[in-house]
Structure 1
């Protein structure tokens, strides 16, 4: 086994364990149960603290992760996760829950270090493979979480508090593992050389803030002057926005379509689709690099978005719950395949030591967009307050819109290349005449 494969196996196993949190599918019944005994409205308010804390802390995290070389932030995530589940197990007050959600925001925000750490440890030619490995591993961890948690509760092997003890044990193991991960060393050619900073500025401690700002600006400019990075980042952000909005509310759609029967099947379908997503992400690592030329990729992303949109619209308008499951399956499979390839392509096209910056910005844009979308169509006090079928119709047409956008990108790319060939031909003719 090659060194990069060994490292990918280590980090994939870490990701599998990190995602093993069997208490999460039952967080609502746990909070309104006897341990905390709060209302559903209070539970929603508490969980919203975690969402806003996540977005606020993500800004700080993606600004410092590349500078601190990933591993320290992975350790912070492990410690925050351990603290969160310690408080779940041993606290009982509403105030403690609110504080717990602040740490949960830290836990989620620092997760960006895990997703970008591997790109700093392996050669770029392996990015597609390692991305497929870690995405497959985390999906497999979620599958085990969904399956085991429901089995334990269904057969009354344990209660919701017992699931939190299991999650705490997994987070403790993850934290220990994080300390054992190999360090990322600085590149031989440091960014300071590329920035050509003043020699005095390089050695003056008081200039640390200025140097850091220069580093961040350099990496931001280097990444986002590339139209390739911009296009892939747009896809990534829209995927974060639409996919997680859809998966959050799809049980409500299924309950509307199938009633009580849907309640019995929803959990099983989600678990099966998570497993399928794991397998599809793994298969994405075997796509030939020759198929990932810009024109082919843009065409593929446009087609995938259209298929996702059509699948979701079918899942929305049908009155048959099984048809709805199939339509949603198209979305899950297409997303698992596309997000794996898009992530690796972004990493291939950004400078070293800027992975967390670029992925962090893309994630933040996606989260902010999702918050606005949720406020517009899903919130009962929002701008439009649509019912569940109307909401999913909006999401479906949103995905079709993404397909149209990337079809436009493809046409622009084809036009740009045609112009370049014409200019080259004219230059050759001019040189021949001369």
Structure 2
């Protein structure tokens, strides 16, 4: 009995120590990153996604390919464009976590509509909600800014991106196995997806609520660093400390009066965003990279959105054992390897980057032409993998070049602006080429336009890259001539 009392006396401090350890773990960056990775995984495992066209045009929904192509799919583009800016601002104002919870809830509604409705209007509503889900992706990586230290940001981002890619890959492989071995019907796959989405929703509820955000609830130190970057390095240490003290006091006053000055704060944020936007895009180099980003992302999204329609045209799923899931899984893995390999290439992208954009965009155009005019499903599959890998390679280079020299806040702004530009172009392309209210072209003319679109991008940036290289050589030649002339002058 005395021994049990002693054990109880010893175990009480141990329990206290364990509770303290749990508290430290929950407040660490690893806890938030782990939960965010779990959320990213369960929200991206979508086994039916590679087989969406066979599902919609098959006996389950009995929709025609023309209805899916011209009436249903365009709604996603319009929804994504119309909700991107409001969601971007709400994400920062609400401090990320509520938007993540909202995203998983809307994804649940999207999957439920896909499972239990079958009319064209219901499928259009499903695409609208999926556009909201896509627009809410900004909250996933923006959450990192507020809960992870700057020195750990790259590692946490790497984990989250890798887990998302793993989720897409697992979903594609799982869907392929289920369809190939006839283990589940399409509708049962959707029920399984609903369970995974529910797990993602529960996981998002346990995420720590951030205390700050990039724009509406900024860290005073971050604001000071941005201003120091704008002003240059002429400010003395004493002035910096005085400025930091003053901004901390202003930040405290702002928190105390947050409820009564919300509209003023919103106006100040929008004005600051506009100033940062103008300053960022005043760089000609960043402008060119951003232009390619917007144009190529527009063409990439169109290709990925409608490629299953092309595959269904080349080889109807009723007459062929389709391998869409395996192709998507292979494209994700090879794209990840391609993007990962960029970090180990010793290339001066600031000099050769524009030429690379033009050359590889030309290869992407060639892959699209092969998909369009060679009526073989295996050629289509291989060309799609090549096209996707080339885009991932180039977008990784573009992201790296744009991020160099920008603060995290401005990188988020430029990323959002480029995405918005891509969506504007995509909306124009969709309304003119795809939508039944426009030309409503069949799938082969559509992909002919997409391939030609990338061919134009290739020509523009190839010419721009050659001009940049010629200008650099010409500038160096003038510098060497000037140096030689100066040497001759000093000699005499």
Normalised-by-shorter TM-score class:
0.7 to 0.9
CA distance in 2, matches of 1:46, 1:157: 28
> CA-to-partner distance for each residue in 1:265-308, whole Å, 9 max, x for gaps?
442552343343354255336334x4253013223222211211
Distance across 2 between alignment mates of 1:393 and 1:42:
20
Give 2:396's match in structure 1, choosing from 340, 348, 353.
340
Is 1:365 paired with 2:390?
no
Residue 161 (structure 1) shift: 3.1
Distance 1:291 1:367, change over 3 A: same
Q: 1:424 to 1:219 in 2, by over 3 A?
A: farther
2:47 equivalent in structure 1: 22
Residue 102 (structure 2) aligns with:
76
In the other structure, the counterpart of 1:323 is 379
1:298 matched to which residue of 2? Answer: 354
- What residue is the counterpart of 1:172 in the other structure? 198
Worse overlay, 90-99 or 175-184: 90-99
How far has the Cα of 1:20 moved from its partner? 0.8
How is 1:251-400 mapped onto 2 (pairs within 5 angstroms)? Answer: 251-258=308-315, 263-268=320-325, 270-281=327-338, 283-284=340-341, 286-288=343-345, 290-379=346-435, 382-383=438-439, 386-400=441-455
Query: Do the aligned residues in 2 keep the contact of 1:140 with 1:274 (CA within 8 Å)?
Result: no
User: Structure 2 regions of 5+ residues with no counterpart?
Assistant: 1-27, 213-217, 232-246
> CA separation in 1, counterparts of 2:362 and 2:63?
42
Structure 1 equivalent of residue 307 of structure 2: 250
Task: Write the distance in 1 (CA, Å) between the matches of 2:125 and 2:438.
Answer: 27
Find the partner of 1:401 among 456, 469, 472.
456
**Which runs of 5 or more residues in structure 1 are unaligned?**
none
Alignment partners' CA distance in 2, 1:313 and 1:36: 31
| 2:17 equivalent in structure 1 | none
Give the C-alpha shift of residue 53 in structure 1. Answer: 2.2
TM-score by length of 2: 0.70
Does structure 2 conserve the Cα–Cα contact (< 8 Å) formed by 1:315 and 1:328? yes
On the 8 A contact 1:255/1:262 being kept in 2, the answer is no
2:50–2:324 contact (8 Å) kept in structure 1: no
| Stretch of structure 1 that moved more, 160-169 or 10-19 | 10-19
Judged with a 3 Å threshold, the aligned counterparts in structure 2 of structure 1 residues 163 and 7 are, in CA distance, closer, same or farther, namely same
Q: Is the 8 A contact 2:297 2:422 kept in 1?
A: yes
Is the alpha carbon distance of 1:50 and 1:414 closer, same or farther for their aligned partners in structure 2, counting shifts above 3 Å? closer
Superposed displacement of residue 343, structure 1: 2.7
Distance 1:34 1:380, change over 3 A: closer
Q: In the TM superposition, what is the alpha-carbon distance from 1:58 to its structure 2 partner? A: 0.6
Answer with 1 or 2: which has the greater Rg: 2
Q: 1:408 to 1:41 in 2, by over 3 A?
A: closer
Aligned equivalents of 1:412, 1:181: Cα separation in 2? 50
| Residues 330-360 of structure 1: per-residue CA shift (max 9 Å, x gap) | 2122122222332343333433323443222
Separation in 1, partners of 2:66, 2:373: 30
1:291 alignment partner, SS class:
coil
CA contact (8 A) 2:327 2:385 kept: no
CA RMSD of aligned residues (A): 4.4
Change (3 A) 1:301 1:87: same
Query: Quick one: distance in 1 between partners of 2:211 and 2:471?
Result: 39
Counterparts of 2:401 and 2:211, CA distance in 1 = 21
Q: 1:265 to 1:46 in 2, by over 3 A?
A: closer
Give TM-score, length-normalised by structure 1. Answer: 0.78
Match of 2:85 in 1: 59
Shift of 1:110: 0.7
Residue of structure 1 in register with 2:11 after alignment: none
